[in-house]
Amino acid sequence: MAEAQLKPRTLPYVSAITEGVRAVMLEQPTAFVAGEDVAGAGGVYGYYAGILDEFGPERVYDTPISEEGIVGLGVGSAAAGCRPIIDMMFMDFLGECMDEVANQMAKMRYMFGGRTKLPITMLTMAGAGMSLAAQHSQSLEAWICHLPGLKVVMPTTPYDAKGLIIAAARDDNPVIVVLNKMSLAIKGEVPEESYEIPLGKANIVRPGTNYTIVAMGRMMHEAIKAADELAKLGVDAEIIDPRTLQPFDTDTVVESVRKTHRALIVHEAVRFGGFGGEIVAQIQEEAFDYLDAPIARVGAPFSPVPFSPALEKLYIPNADNIVAAAKKQLGL
């Protein structure tokens, strides 16, 4: 449906996820939901609430505690003609099934010469902030973005959450939807109708003239706070939310940098080896002559996520970190 015809209302991020899943189930008769506690409990974060009641046990399955089995179910059923939505309760649990993800889900369509479609949508939860400690709080998007054959999206707003889930489920390739724990209560306008956000298209959240901030996931909200502070210093920051990391919208970012001549990349994941480094590389390959300063990065320190609330608060990047990095880069 065209943007102009959509009728928005305000919903929290968690409810927008539910609406996205429901829209897929209504649209696609071979779609089903499978994962740990997704049926009776509605998922550990509640975003499958009501799905079992509406679609029944033949389309909503509680699985055993086996991430490898969940992904295997997704791969096999998709190859056989279904369009599964599989739930990976925490992104950290990808380690339990990485062989299935990396060597089956990501590669099967290629190895079958494209004759087999693999329309798998995986929903998973990333990020820190709830004192869930080192094994339930990581942001591991760089792992999966490195695997050819997978698409990776990171919704930052309720509008994006619903639209990207629908787009992911309509795609004939595996798409991993990386959600964020601390975004569940964030509210925003979400149309009642079914709509999709094109995969591979970034969003210019805030236009600006002399500084580019590329902020992934929940860090987009921190970047907006930082931009308000930087504006007091005469810095007119343009904020870009990639929304899709794989494929990445290089053109939108490069066009912005050619205008502003400076860039800062922000993500919640560990800074070293993070996806931000790939964005930096792409900018310098495409827009090196336009840069007036080295590209800056903000990310988490090279450490497991602390359990202590006080330490975890220091660990997660925030608006103050973004402002400090920008001021250092700009010599302010």
Q: Last residue of some domain: 191, 222, 241?
A: 191
Q: Looking at this protein, which amino acid is placed at residue 193?
A: E
Read off the pLDDT of residues 38-83 as tens digits, 9 standing for 90 and up: 999 999 999 999 999 999 999 999 999 999 999 999 999 999 999 9
3-state SS track over 292-314? CCCCEEEEECCCCCCCCHHHHHH
In a domain, residue 196? The reply is: no
- Based on the structure, what is the number of domains in the chain? 2
Q: Assess whether 159 and 304 both reside in one domain.
A: no
Selecting among 136, 146, 221, 267, the annotated active-site residue is: 136
d(CA 37, CA 112): 33
> Measuring CA to CA, which residue among 64, 60, 73 is closest to residue 104?
73
Q: Assess whether 151 and 18 both reside in one domain.
A: yes
In a domain, residue 67? The reply is: yes
Q: Assess whether 78 and 207 both reside in one domain.
A: no
Q: CATH number of the domain at 32, please.
A: 3.40.50.970
Q: Assess whether 140 and 270 both reside in one domain.
A: no
Q: Assess whether 102 and 140 both reside in one domain.
A: yes
DSSP at 129: -
Q: What's the chain's average pLDDT? A: 96
In a domain, residue 61? The reply is: yes
Domain that holds residue 294: 203-330
- 4, pLDDT greater than 50: no
Q: Assess whether 153 and 301 both reside in one domain.
A: no
> Measuring CA to CA, which residue among 297, 241, 249, 296 is closest to residue 269?
297
Quick check: is 267 catalytic? no
In a domain, residue 153? The reply is: yes
In this structure, the strands spanning 151-153 and 244-246 are: antiparallel
| Measured distance between the N- and C-terminal CA atoms of the chain, rounded to whole angstroms | 46
pLDDT given for residue 8 in this prediction: 72
Read off the pLDDT of residues 283-303 as tens digits, 9 standing for 90 and up: 999 999 999 999 999 999 999
In a domain, residue 92? The reply is: yes
Can you tell me the mean pLDDT for 74-95? 97
- 101, pLDDT greater than 90: yes
Q: Assess whether 45 and 171 both reside in one domain.
A: yes
Is residue 122 within 8 Å of 74, Cβ to Cβ? Answer: yes
pLDDT given for residue 212 in this prediction: 98
Q: Assess whether 42 and 170 both reside in one domain.
A: yes
Burial of 28 (0-12, 13-18, 19+ CB in 10 A): middle
Which of 1-15, 30-44, 181-195, 218-232 has the weakest average pLDDT? 1-15
- Copy the structure tokens of residue 194: 């079914």
Helix/strand/coil for 192:
coil
Helix/strand/coil for 179:
strand
Q: Which residues are within 8 A (CB) of 234 and not within 5 positions of it... i.e. 6 or more apart? A: none
- 3, pLDDT greater than 80: no
d(CA 231, CA 211): 10
Q: Assess whether 35 and 178 both reside in one domain.
A: yes
Half-sphere exposure of 22 (CA within 13 A, CB side): 18
Q: Last residue of some domain: 163, 191, 219?
A: 191
- 1, pLDDT greater than 60: no
Q: CATH number of the domain at 260, please.
A: 3.40.50.920
In a domain, residue 198? The reply is: no
Q: Assess whether 207 and 187 both reside in one domain.
A: no
Q: Which residues are within 8 A (CB) of 157 and not within 5 positions of it... i.e. 6 or more apart? A: 13, 186, 188
Q: Last residue of some domain: 157, 191, 225?
A: 191
Q: Assess whether 158 and 283 both reside in one domain.
A: no
Q: Assess whether 257 and 290 both reside in one domain.
A: yes
